[in-house]
Amino acid sequence: MKVHPYLTFDGTTSEAMTFYQTALGGELTMMMYSDMPPGDDIPEGAGGKVAHARLDLGNIILQASDRLDGSGAGFKGFDLQIDLSDVEKGRALFDALAEGGEILMPYGDVFWARAFGTLRDKFGVPWMIHVA
């Protein structure tokens, strides 16, 4: 079994997924827009939003879409954790994801790991960078 994160944004999926591709690497393999006529399943005004996006990061797939109902995104009760073995690679990922966001715990030495830090990126997604 594999668990892959699926994030929902309020109209910023395209920008967010492009940001994550730059920060994390990988291949953005899908960016499907919801340019479909309104109907039973597609609300009025949903055209141009991202219906589904996929970023392949090796053994992890990060997926996302815009909320078609306009109810807004809200990222609470979880963090996306990246585990690494290289402290400098962790620093680079932390700095890239923190750009325009909020650092919650600065990246550095901790008693339980060689390096650790937490942040909320500019889209509101919480991240932990952990180097065992």
Query: Looking at per-residue confidence, does 76 or 48 come out higher?
Result: 76
**Alpha carbon distances (Å) from 56 to 4, 19, 71, 113:** 10, 14, 27, 27
| Confidence at 120, pLDDT banded by 50, 70, 90 | very high
| Ramachandran bin of 100, using left for φ above 0, alpha for ψ from -120 to 50, beta for the remaining angles | left
pLDDT reported for residue 130:
98
Strands 50-57 and 27-33: antiparallel
Output the pLDDT for position 2: 86
What is the average pLDDT across 84-89?
97
Q: What is the mean pLDDT of residues 74-85?
A: 93
Highest-scoring range by mean pLDDT, 32-46, 57-71, 116-130? 116-130
- How much is the pLDDT for 48? 73
Banded model confidence at residue 1, pLDDT cuts 50, 70, 90: confident
Amino acid at 128: M
What sign for the dihedral angle of Cα 45, 71, 81, 98? positive
Whole-number average pLDDT of the chain: 90
